[in-house]
Structure 1
Amino acid sequence: MQRKLMFLPLLFIALFQAKAQSELSVEYIMRDPSWMGTFPSSASWSDDSETIYFRYNLDQDPADSLYKIQLNRDQKISKVSWLELRSRERDEASYNADKTLRLYQIDEKLMLEDLSSGNTEVLLEWPENFADPKFLANEEEIAFSSKANIYIYNLSSKTIRKATNISTSSKPKDNSKGNATDLPWLESENLELLAVVREREEKSKMRKDYRESFQDGEVEEFVYYTEGKSPVNLQLSPDGKFASFTIYNSSNSKNTKVPDYVDASGYTVDLNARAKVGTSTPAQAEIGIYDLEQDTVYFLTASELPGIKDLPDYVSDYPDKTWEEKERTVSFSSPYFSPDGSRAIINIRSTDNKDRWIAEIDLNSGKLKTLDRQRDEAWIAGPGIGWSFSGGTMGWLPDNKHIYFQSEESGYSHLYLLDVSTGEKKALTSGKYEVFDPFLSKDKKSWYFTSSEVDPGERHFYQMPLMGGKAVKLTSMTGNNDVSLSPDEKKLAIVYSYSNKPAELYLQDNKAGAKAVQLTAGQSDEFKAYNWRDPQIVRFTAEDGAQVPARLYTPDPAKKNGAAVVFVHGAGYLQNVHKWWSSYFREYMFHNLLTDLGYTVLDIDYRGSAGYGRDWRTGIYRHMGGKDLSDQVDGVKYLIENHGVDPDRVGLYGGSYGGFITLMALFNASDTFKSGAALRSVTDWAHYNHGYTSNILNTPEEDPIAYRRSSPIYFAEGLKGNLLMAHGMVDVNVHFQDVVRLSQRFIELGKDNWEMAIYPVEDHGFVEPSSWTDEYKRILKLFNNTLLQE
């Protein structure tokens, strides 16, 4: 009788699988992606706006190569030759104000190219490595950096002068007033005992004094000594009066080791990997301002910034701890000089992630005047905001008066202008959408940018007047329009994709309503043979009333089996509910396979995802596995109430952050999820990296509450369903150690409803088709065996 009972679930699965079939299989979709075809990326233009260059792979090379389409010819796709590729190399390219001249370097040669005539000349051959050649405001001089100093080349006189005098050595000690008693003991004793040696020293000093007597009245040359530190990011103000440089104080960290068990040597080799959150002192940047007229150097200090000693709100959760009110450490970007060089601004970010200041530098004294402060009790981020040493979207308008930057002040990342003289700030864009990658037109009279104004799941290209006004939408294809504007600003090269259509290259005139013409058609016949689904974008209501976006895949009613799978995207701050071809294309194809087999699939942009503004982004602050998990649970409720899903037949899966949520779901929402596949999962956030984790959870030493309620390893006793863990053994991002430690917890807790698949040659992002295939066969087997039983 028991054998018959065991046979019934297997019989049910066999009967179901005979009914629901798919043209797809895991082996088919997880092959090398080249089977799908070749798809363009990274479009750019020739200087004459007649040729589009892009990454492509028509010849089935090991990697994408550079291809081109010449618009003034037959518009055929051709691979760029090695000679042409070499001729297009423009290391450190920069332009004059009207972009008629271009500077670039080839090896140790500084080249000047006249873009109107096409003529190129070698300005100089420098004996050392150099970098960052730029025109000064007068356009008669060119500044470049070499060996920790800045040099200036004059186009008229063909002469070079050294603008700065920086030495990385230590400042020499002044022994001019010394005597024998000031000398080291051994030297002093030697001179006292040996008369000949003493006489020679005295004669040497007399000769030196005689030479120096001819230099009376000359001013000693100024040298700034860095005491062994190497200055980087050297730049000269456009008026040639000031220089700036950065000195980094290296971080103090204990890096981890990841063992590689399948190294070619046959030995186990330790791979160097990142440090763990809170265990390192982040690198600090000191910004030096070199006054070339006064021959002096000073460093910027953040001590006068408003709120520099502010404590974060979470300290109230630790009433028994004494919190010292002290000046917080900050990260400086490089200064941004105005076009005429008379002014400079700088982006400053607190290393506790709570503040971003934009300040003007008094170039004569080094004092900072705060122009804008953005405070976020969670963490500062968002499109165009920048990171530790980067200012993100920031710069000056040509009037030397207004600066531009992006801010989440309104709750969404928008473009702002600020009058440095008056402090008046103006939002150029506004609304419940985000702005991406704004830049000035060639004539400096308008802005170009991409935004999500139409819909969070679409990206379009816009043009807007310089000082604000109506933004004109230039693209019209629904999906993602990744635009490269031609140098003459008459054409758009668009890498466009839709939900079920991988990227293709299009050409469009630069005007609203113009028709986009397709230039590539890269889908293979194999790929086109299947009718790939266009997932429906839905919104469901979360427990706190928020409207949560999701992609929904619904099966043919005749095949519907009542089971559902929830997919959890990785990266945390990433958007996957949109109307363009997903970077998760393998998972997208797997969802088509699942839907063919009768599953309902839901792919959620849970709290923490990108694309929906500040509040959505920070919804996971101090509690990962809080709202981001409850959004998954509420998604299942939506499926049960609206799509006939059996509450006892729901699984979920995801990788990286998605693997973390899968673990939290099976530990803390086991009544909702029967099975889950956790891939390359974070199991303890105290073991992840500093840059990402400290934003969201602060540090384990300062905010242990956040780590304990956010880390799956503390909730392992809650596992009730069926768990598959899969992890690459040479993962230098989320270390294999994560699942090893969790496995030991399961063993100690007596759990036996879990299994683990390990991949000895894989890092965090799998590469080998065999690994992808094995992993997803196991995921499908898990769902078929556990969700299709009655």
Structure 2
Amino acid sequence: MRGTAAVAGTTLSIDALYQPQSIIGTTPEGFAWSADGGRVLFLWNDEGRRFRDIWVYEVATGRKSRLTQLGKNGGDDGAGVSQTVDLGGGRIAYVLGGGLYLRAADGAVAAIEAGYRGVRQLAVSPDRTKLAFVADLPGDSRGRVMPGGVLLVRDVAAAGRKARAIAGGDDPKLYVKDFQWSRDGRAIAFDLADDRLMPERDIHYYAGGKLQDNRVARAFPGDETTRERIGVVDVASGRPRFYDRPDVKGLVWNYGLSGDGRRLFINSSDLEAKDHAVDVYDVASGARERFYGLRDAVHLRPDWQVEWAPDDDGLIILTDRDGYLQLYHQKTAGAVPRQLTSGKWEIASFSVDRDAGQIYFLANEAQLAERQLYRVAMAGGTMTRVSPKTPGTHEPVFSPGFSHAASFFSNDVTPPELLMLDLGKPGDAVAVTKSPLPGFYRQTWARIGYMEFPSHVDGTNLVARVSLPANYDPAKRYPLIVGSVYSDSVRNQWGGRRAHPTWGIDQYFVGQGYIVINVNVRGSWGQGRAHNVGQHHSYGETDINDLESGVRHLVAKGYVDPKRVGIWGSSYGGLVTLMSLAKKPGVYAAGVAGAPATNVWHAYPSEMMVAGPPTGADMPGRYEAQSPLFQSKGIADPLMIIHGSRDPVVLYSDTVAFTEKLIANEQPFELVTLPGGNHAWASDNLAQTRFAFNKMAAFFGRYLKPEQP
């Protein structure tokens, strides 16, 4: 109001920010189009509660309505419907609690496929006659459900007929990872994952007053890992054929059948993502040809995507072969790819409109932190921005025929909503949902902006997302929190990163008088190949230099008190936090490491993309240099570690090994153990979220001492 001084930010506590009925609302999810593109189903709760019911939006009338009333206890008793598909004729299928249900046109609901649980990946055939899905294996003689993944197909019209299993098996370590229908609906291409050679490990922990054992298939660098085989199964006969790759240990990034169903591409690489290969197979004979290949000895990020061009005229390839992730068209095997887009910006993903001969793609051409929607003709040339001029991040799901796109959209000041984009009218969008509760609009939120600055080490241009108090005073120097630190953390979307629910803790910090910063460290997407390969063999080196550059920049600009700087992050971000404290003593007054990856030898094999293989003349020094476990003596500044004891990703035993070193060296620290907590410790449950974030806030409050707003 006029005459009222601006406040620093939200007045809500951490407990008030993280409620079952969320002030920012419930995100709309699971967009599923009807065959004619006239309506889209989505999962939502208009009261900000956890349980998502099924809603429908009619494109022609602009009317939205709720189709199901499945939530109980006010909608706080679970995540609700997890997926839905439109079967046509007013019928829909959906997944609730891992079971499959069918809703008839008159609203009657029936449970189907009662023998299967863990149902997921619903996909209706192009002619809407068959429904395919993946589910866990049926129960054994004792009725116990066996985890796994079998691919099943059922006739949509035959309500009483059971689904047929057409891929997978009775071994839970041999499972269908994902699949896709052919355009004529006669076949399904699928990825069969095989974990039978992967080692199993026991994670012992105490929870519920007793010893527990979380036994998981878990590989370390150098171990056998998941092997993937791409197959095509004839739906009528159920007979599959597999198309083997030369490197059976390599990783598959995507695959696809040609429009006529006669050819199959497999887009893959080695485990370190240095050898990129696209093979094309004759579906009938299995004959293979190397369509595209490129080796890059320092390549880090497998952001490649491949799709068939219109009329099956070769392949569209998303690659950074010339420095930035751009689109190329390659007509024949071994031909030189023709570049369709260019610029010092990057494309995140794309979809091909085969009928119109156009490619729609998400890119950060407008600004590093954004994901806007564009299109370009197959001939290349001028591209058109399709999404509105509003800054932010789009995640579109295209209607059949590409007349519209249902877009999951948010930006720095707008929690996620469903926007309907009219692709025939670039810039035209309709807001379908309004998710935040009324109290959201009565709060004062952070002022968020972006800064560019050079690395203090090598001059590389860096970009940061900066959250300022709403009453920011340039005459003051504020305490600073760097984090949560991670790659790809500079995004113009609500909360910055979606992987952790940090939107509330960030807003709380700003409301308490802190500045919060995220830096697009080396190894991140969006600034080109030369930027991200700077992280090669460099966990805890180049990345922590980039973060220090952000601190130096804010200090030099007069924003920050250099004696009141904190840092925090989880997983890889925990590694970065520990390395920053160990190698940058005095830069940070305190650090919080969540589920910190202290030992690269115990990372997932995929981390070899950055860390390199566990062999070579530079070993073991290369892994030790990238592991906080071997750098712990340098830590002198206050440290808190938060870790869930059940974590299968970063082992709690590694935190124990790290703290044993600290104790032996008489280095003080605080350890917050979350009994039975998983890797995503801030997302397990609200009580744990509040507990852990309150611990973190109190810790930073002791050492950074922000002035009360």
Q: Give the TM-score, by structure 2 length.
A: 0.77
- Residue 473 of structure 1 and its aligned partner are, at CA, apart by 1.0
| CA spacing shift, 1:681–1:126, aligned 2, 3 Å | same
Change (3 A) 1:538 1:274: farther
Q: Structure 1's 569 and 32: CA in aligned 2 closer, same or farther, altered over 3 A?
A: same
Aligned residue in 2 for 1:140: none
Aligned-partner Cα distance in 1 for 2:514–2:179: 58
1:646 aligns with 2:557: no
| Whole-angstrom distance in 2 between the partners of 1:67 and 1:102 | 20
For residue 665 of structure 1, report the CA deviation from its aligned partner.
1.0
Give per-residue Cα distances to partners, 1:758-784, cap 9 Å, x unaligned: 111421223232322222222222222
What amino acid sits opposite 1:681 in the alignment? Answer: P
Question: Which residue number corresponds to residue 523 of structure 1?
Answer: 436
Indicate the SS of the match to 1:654.
strand
Corresponding position of 1:29: 17
Does structure 1 residue 412 correspond to structure 2 residue 324?
yes
2:572–2:596: 8 Å Cα contact kept in structure 1? yes
Give, as a single letter, the amino acid of the residue that structure 2 aligns with 1:41.
E
Aligned residue pair count: 626
Q: Which whole-Å CA distance do the structure 2 matches of 1:479 and 1:468 have between them? A: 26
Say if 2:119 is the partner of 1:93.
Answer: no
Aligned equivalent of 1:744: 660
Aligned match for 1:252, one of 197, 210, 223 = 197
Question: Is the counterpart of residue 129 in structure 1 residue 43 in structure 2?
Answer: no
Whole-Å Cα distance in 2 between the matches of residues 237 and 785 of structure 1? 60
Q: Per-residue deviation at 1:652?
A: 1.2
What is the 5 A alignment of 1:120-519? 129-131=164-166, 250-263=195-208, 266-285=209-228, 302=246, 330=250, 336=256, 338-340=258-260, 343-361=263-281, 368-379=288-299, 381-383=301-303, 385=304, 392-398=305-311, 400-420=312-332, 423-441=335-353, 443-476=355-388, 477-519=390-432
Most deviating of 680-689 and 53-62: 53-62
CA distance in 2: counterparts of 1:449 and 1:699, whole angstroms: 34
1:574/1:609 contact within 8 Å kept = yes
Do 1:569 and 1:576's aligned partners in 2 also have CA atoms closer than 8 Å?
no
Change (3 A) 1:625 1:78: same
Structure 1 CA distance, aligned partners of 2:26 and 2:243? 51
Asked whether the 8 Å contact 1:51–1:71 carries over to 2, the reply is yes
Q: Partner residue of 1:706? A: 622
Matches of 1:600 and 1:587, distance apart in 2? 14
TM superposition shift of 1:532 = 1.2
Superposed CA deviations along residues 145-201 of structure 1, whole A, max 9, x for unmatched, are 7999xxxxxxxxxxxxxxxxxxx9xxxxxxxxxxxxxxxxxxxxxxxxxxxxxxxxx
More strand by share: 2
CA contact (8 A) 1:53 1:69 kept: yes
| Structure 2 letter corresponding to 1:576 | V
Indicate the SS of the match to 1:783: helix
Q: 1:359 to 1:577 in 2, by over 3 A?
A: closer
| Distance (Å, rounded) in 2 between the aligned partners of 1:638 and 1:378 | 29
> Is 1:547 the equivalent of 2:461?
yes
Would the alpha carbon gap of residues 256 and 479 (structure 1) be closer, same or farther in structure 2, given more than 3 Å must change? Answer: same
For the 8 Å contact 2:226–2:249, the answer to whether it is kept is no
1:535 aligned partner, one-letter code: I
- In 1: Cα distance, 2:550 partner to 2:380 partner: 40
Q: Write out per-residue CA displacement over residues 708-730 of structure 1, whole angstroms, 9 at most, x where no aligned residue.
A: 11111111111111111111122
Distance 1:742 1:421 in 2: 51
Residues 497, 581 of structure 1: 8 Å contact kept: no
Cα pair distance change 1:349/1:62, threshold 3 Å: same
Query: What secondary structure does 1:535 align onto?
Result: strand
Structure 2 residue identity aligned to 1:676? G
Among all aligned residue pairs of Structure 1 and Structure 2, give the percentage whose two residues are the same amino acid.
21
Q: CA RMSD in A?
A: 4.1
- How many angstroms does 1:431 deviate by? 1.5
On the 8 A contact 2:264/2:283 being kept in 1, the answer is yes
Q: Report the Cα distance in structure 2 between the residues aligned to 1:369 and 1:487, rounded to whole angstroms.
A: 32
Distance in 2 of aligned mates of 1:245 and 1:508: 31
Of 593, 598, 601, the residue aligned with 1:683 is 598
Residue 403 of structure 1: how far off its partner (Å): 1.9
> 1:577-635, CA deviations, whole angstroms, 9 ceiling, x for partnerless residues?
42555345753333333333333322222112233333333322211011100011111
Q: Distance in 2 between matches of 1:28 and 1:230?
A: 42
CA contact (8 A) 1:20 1:559 kept: no
Aligned residue among 26, 42, 51 for 1:38: 26
**Conservation of the 8 A alpha-carbon contact between 2:155 and 2:161:** no
Q: Flag the 1:257–1:637 CA change in 2: closer, same or farther, 3 A.
A: same
Q: Deviations over 1:651-687 (max 9, x none)?
A: 1112222221111111110121121111111111112
**Structure 1 residues 73 and 475: alpha-carbon distance in aligned structure 2, compared to 1, 3 A threshold:** closer
Q: Which amino acid aligns with 1:254?
A: P
Contact 1:449 1:461 in 2 (8 A): yes
1:479 deviates by 0.8
Between the aligned partners of 2:433 and 2:230, the Cα distance in structure 1 is 48
Partner of 1:57: 45
- SS of the equivalent of 1:34 reads coil
2:575 maps to 1:575: no
Change (3 A) 1:339 1:598: closer
Q: Offset of 1:65 from its aligned partner?
A: 2.4
Instruction: Tell me the equivalent position of 2:584.
Output: 669
Q: Which stretch shifts more, 505-514 or 676-685? A: 505-514
Contact 2:123–2:132, Cα closer than 8 Å, also in 1: no
- Match of 1:720, SS state, is coil
Which of 634, 637, 643 is the matching residue for 1:718?
A: 634
Q: Who is 2:145 aligned against?
A: none
Native 8 Å contact 2:495 2:502 kept in 1: no
Alignment check: 8 A CA contact 1:401 1:421 kept? no
User: Which is higher, the Rg of structure 1 or of structure 2?
Assistant: 1
Distance 1:257 1:747 in 2: 26
* Contact kept? 1:568, 1:655, Cα under 8 Å: no
The answer to whether 1:770 aligns with 2:682 is no
Output the amino acid matched with 1:688.
A
Distance change (3 Å), C-alpha of 1:750 and 1:359 = same
Give the equivalent residue in structure 1 for 2:66: 78
Structure 2 counterpart of 1:195: none
Aligned amino acid, residue 326 of structure 2: H
1:109 deviates by 7.4
- Structure 1 counterpart of 2:698: 781
- CA change 1:757–1:128 in 2 (3 A) is closer
Asked whether the 8 Å contact 1:464–1:471 carries over to 2, the reply is yes
Partners of 2:387 and 2:381 lie apart in 1 by 18
Question: Unaligned 5+ residue runs, structure 1?
Answer: 1-18, 96-100, 113-120, 132-144, 149-167, 169-228, 291-296, 303-326, 386-391
More helix by share: 1
Are 2:543 and 1:610 equivalent residues in the alignment?
A: no
Distance 1:249 1:239, change over 3 A: same
**C-alpha deviation, 1:262, in angstroms:** 1.7
Q: CA deviation at 1:417?
A: 1.2
**Residue 39 of structure 1 contacts residue 503 of structure 1 at CA under 8 Å; is this kept in 2?**
yes
Say if 1:773 and 1:365 are closer, same or farther in 2 by CA, change over 3 A.
Answer: closer
| AA in 2 matched with 1:445 | G
Aligned residue number for residue 48 of structure 1: 36
AA paired with 1:273?
Answer: V
State how far apart, in whole Å, the 2-side matches of 1:146 and 1:789 are. Answer: 56
Gap runs ≥5 in structure 2: 1-6, 71-90, 94-101, 105-111, 113-120, 134-151, 234-240
2:98 aligns with: none
* Alpha-carbon distance in structure 1 between the residues aligned to 2:431 and 2:232: 51
Paired residues of 2:489 and 2:518 also in contact (CA < 8 A)? no
Taking a change above 3 Å as real, the CA distance of residues 87 and 370 of structure 1, as seen in their structure-2 partners, is: same
Superposition map of 1:618-629 within 5 A: 618-629=533-544
Q: CA deviation at 1:356?
A: 1.3
